[in-house]
């Protein structure tokens, strides 16, 4: 439903309510209703201004999905090139090698120290 359909449905419901309760055209309750409509239009305008449209949100999510797919493809290409350059061996990050070397040296040092101290 678009905004006009809501307005027509509201006007019809209001007319039905007025007839059922015998509300006259000069009744004070209609002034309160008009004040409510002003209030509602004000907040509807703020919502339309502050919140993005669903289509805009959908387009953003689709663009994000395309970007992620592009990054995944590029990552696959880079990993394939790294494996090819390393002769098919598994690529180990450069920061992991020094850590592994330190762990191996600590184990060897611990074994030698344990053997000579006992």
Instruction: Tell me if 42 is assigned to some domain.
Output: yes
Give me 4's structure tokens: 């006009």
Instruction: Tell me if 95 is assigned to some domain.
Output: no
Instruction: Tell me if 32 is assigned to some domain.
Output: yes
Instruction: Tell me if 41 is assigned to some domain.
Output: yes
CA atoms of 99 and 91, how far apart (whole Å) = 15
Residue 95 is given by DSSP the state T
Count of domains observed in the chain: 1
Instruction: Say what the pLDDT of residue 87 is.
Output: 65
> Looking up tokens 């209703």, which residue turns up?
33
Domain that holds residue 21: 1-51
Instruction: Tell me if 25 is assigned to some domain.
Output: yes
CA atoms of 56 and 44, how far apart (whole Å) = 18
For 4, 51, 57, 58, 61, the CA distances from 54, given in Å and listed in that order, are: 19, 9, 5, 6, 11
Question: What are the 10-residue block averages of pLDDT along the chain, 118 residues in total?
Answer: 73 91 90 91 83 75 85 84 69 63 77 64
pTM exceeds 0.85: no
Instruction: Tell me if 100 is assigned to some domain.
Output: no
Instruction: Tell me if 28 is assigned to some domain.
Output: yes
Instruction: Tell me if 61 is assigned to some domain.
Output: no
């Amino acid at each position: 439903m678009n905004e006009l359909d809501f307005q027509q449905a509201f006007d019809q419901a209001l007319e039905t309510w007025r007839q059922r309760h015998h509300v006259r055209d000069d009744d004070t309750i209609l002034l309160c209703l008009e004040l409510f409509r002003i209030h509602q239009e004000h907040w509807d305008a703020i919502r339309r201004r502050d919140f993005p449209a669903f289509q805009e949100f959908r387009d953003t999510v689709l663009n994000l999905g395309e970007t992620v797919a592009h990054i995944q493809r590029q990552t696959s290409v880079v990993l394939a090139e790294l494996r090819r350059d390393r002769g098919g061996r598994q690529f180990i990050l450069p920061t992991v090698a020094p850590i592994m070397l330190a762990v191996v040296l600590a184990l060897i040092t611990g074994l030698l120290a344990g053997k000579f101290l006992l």
